[in-house]
Structure 1
Amino acid sequence: MFERALLDWLRLHVGFDHCVVFGYRGAARPPMLFETFSAAESYIYVALYQEGPYLLDPFYHAAIEGREGFWRMRELAPDRFYTSEYYRSYYTQTGLAEEAGFFVQLPESTAVVLSLMRLARSGPFGTAEVRALRDLAPLVLCLCGQHWKDLPTARSAPDRTALPLLPGSEFDRARLWASQSLTGREGEIVNLVLQGHSSESIGRALGISVGTVKVHRRNIHQKLGIHSQAGLFARFIELINRMA
């Protein structure tokens, strides 16, 4: 089996605890293409992830934005990712010390990400290990690109991985928050807050002042009737599952 052979070869160079491969295309729920988890672990790493948290994952955003090569989570995460509600409510359940991935771009705006994971007991990847993985990246990308070159879309995937499509366009994403009486700009800010961006980072991304961002955030909380990031995250998951 290709995946097992590839992992055995990678383990000759670097140690890791788990591996998972997801396919990404727009906002479609990503099919899981390969995993090394037990059934209990798979519920957290795969099933819960596919319910909506993937839309806030730095790996997901990097994949659909066209990133390619080898990347560590810490290189892609927004400035407040590790204090975000996504991190507290979902990501901490994984017990990971670090996650790194090989990002492979395929035709039709599709991407595959092969994630290598280190649990807390193993610690993060060391400098030499990261260097080795970067050196291996060109070959890994080539092999994965050939293996998954005919990756089916979410509509044509086998029953085991086929999942309903979620809003894929900026219009549809705006509609998600418009249903909650938020303006287009407020919807943009909500999405960035949920991903783990600070007010300063949001201001830079949108070209507005930090003060303006904070005013928008207060208005968002008032309109949604929430008082915390936890409430915002819960509302997001509720809306996503309602639209699925």
Structure 2
Amino acid sequence: MAIPIIQQVATPHFYRALASGLRAAFDGDGVTILHHQRHRLPRIIFDDFAPEARAGLARYVHSTHRHDPFVAALDWRKPAWVYRLGALPRFSVAGGAGLLIDPREEIGYRTVGWPCRQSEIGAAIPVGSNDLLQIALYRQGAFEGEVVQALAACLPMLSAAIGRHRGWCAPGLPSARAAGLTRRERQVIAQVLRGNSSTAIAELLGISCLTVKAHRKNAYRKLGVDTLAGLFALFSGPGDTERSLLHPRDPGRDDAVQPL
């Protein structure tokens, strides 16, 4: 599971790869990744809900998350942690206000439009002093007894991968050295700095090895370096981090890499 996730760090496919790996590892039927911030509505980073369930997810984000035992249990000072929804303290709720009372549900109710009778486990990964990512896995029928402990064992890998992805994709200091590169040249050089081979870069970007080598050669010429050591030296100074390659001094460009 770890390798496919790590390979997608700093690409637009990172959260999809993360969800796919967890879904397969823990025999889940679905995954949501939500960004929670203090005093703000949750934000959907990824979901694989069926189209007919999207209205329920939207209702949850805009309203009924307030009745979610996970949200009630949030402690912004807490390090990464895992949960089983059914084991968290529950609300006493009445029907209406977007909620449907159903004793067959894991917590006795669900959001109107949400998939029926889903068990939920998940992880909370802090990404700042007042925000975190919630990775939730769902399935019809209970998860196996030791699955929460197994998910807890993955926390260091998940936290590291998410932290690295956010670090790469967060806006960095402008780099005049990278500003002259084309979008594809920046992508290639960013992957070179990560230690990826031409073959790996070709597979990641969906281009041929010859094209990778051509972009690398052109980028080296524009950057005024001849060797990999020279490239590393060029991007080792303050403000010249690898991530500056993905966010050069041209605000009009879009590398399709999102901060979250």
Give the Cα–Cα distance (whole angstroms) in 2 for the partners of residues 65 and 87 of structure 1.
29
Question: 106, 114, 118: which one pairs with 1:97?
Answer: 118
CA 1:124–1:64 in structure 2 vs 1: closer, same or farther (change >3 Å)? same
Report the Cα offset of residue 118 of structure 1.
Answer: 1.1
Which residue matches 2:152? 134
Question: TM-score, structure 2 length as denominator?
Answer: 0.49
Match for residue 59 of structure 2?
A: 48
Map residues 159-198 of structure 1 onto 2, 5 A cutoff: none
> Once the two structures are superposed, what CA deviation does each residue of 1:23-63 show, in whole Å capped at 9, x if it has no partner?
1112311111111012211111x211122111221222333
- Equivalent position amino acid for 1:58 in 2: P
Paired residue secondary structure (1:19): strand
The question of 1:147 aligning with 2:165 is answered yes
Q: How many residues get paired?
A: 145
> Percent sequence identity over matched residues?
22
- Alignment correspondent of 2:44: 32
Contact persistence 2:30–2:137 (CA under 8 A): yes
User: Unmatched 5+ residue regions in structure 2?
Assistant: 1-12, 102-108, 172-260
> 1:151–1:33: structure 2 CA closer, same or farther, 3 Å change rule?
farther
* TM-score of the pair, normalised by structure 1: 0.52
Which stretch shifts more, 129-138 or 141-150? 141-150
Q: How far apart are the structure 2 equivalents of 1:26 and 1:104?
A: 14
- My pick for the range that moved more, 101-110 or 86-95, is 86-95
Change (3 A) 1:77 1:96: farther
Deviation at 1:72, TM superposition (A): 1.0
Q: What value does the CA root-mean-square deviation take over the aligned residues?
A: 2.6
Between 1 and 2, higher relative CO (CA 8 Å, sep ≥ 6) is seen in 1
Query: Within 1, Cα distance between the matches of 2:120 and 2:50?
Result: 18
Following superposition of structure 1 onto structure 2, how do residues 41-80 of structure 1 map, counting pairs within 5 Å?
41-44=53-56, 46-63=57-74, 65-67=76-78, 68-78=80-90
Give deviations 1:144-201, integer Å, cap 9, x for gaps: 233346789xxxxxxxxxxxxxxxxxxxxxxxxxxxxxxxxxxxxxxxxxxxxxxxxx
**CA distance change for structure 1 residues 129 and 108 in 2, over 3 Å: closer, same or farther?**
closer
**C-alpha deviation, 1:97, in angstroms:** 3.2
Say if 1:35 and 1:12 are closer, same or farther in 2 by CA, change over 3 A: closer
More helix by share: 1
Give the Cα separation in 1 of the matches to 2:73 and 2:162: 17
- Structure-1 residue corresponding to 2:138: 117
Q: Could you say if the C-alpha distance between residues 3 and 99 of structure 1 is closer, same or farther in structure 2, counting changes exceeding 3 Å?
A: same
Report if aligned partners of 1:27, 1:55 keep a CA contact under 8 Å in 2. no
Residue 84 of structure 1 pairs with residue 93 of structure 2: yes
What SS does structure 2 have at the residue aligned with 1:27? coil
Kept in 2, the 8 Å contact 1:63–1:112? The answer is no
Displacement of 1:115:
0.7
73 and 52 in structure 1: CA distance in 2 versus 1, 3 angstrom threshold: same
* Equivalent residue letter for 1:26: R
**Structure 2 CA distance for aligned equivalents of residues 87 and 66 of structure 1:** 32
Between the aligned partners of 2:63 and 2:24, the Cα distance in structure 1 is: 35
1:9 aligns with 2:18: no
> Given that residues 63 and 111 in structure 1 are in contact (C-alpha distance below 8 angstroms), is that contact kept between their aligned partners in structure 2?
no
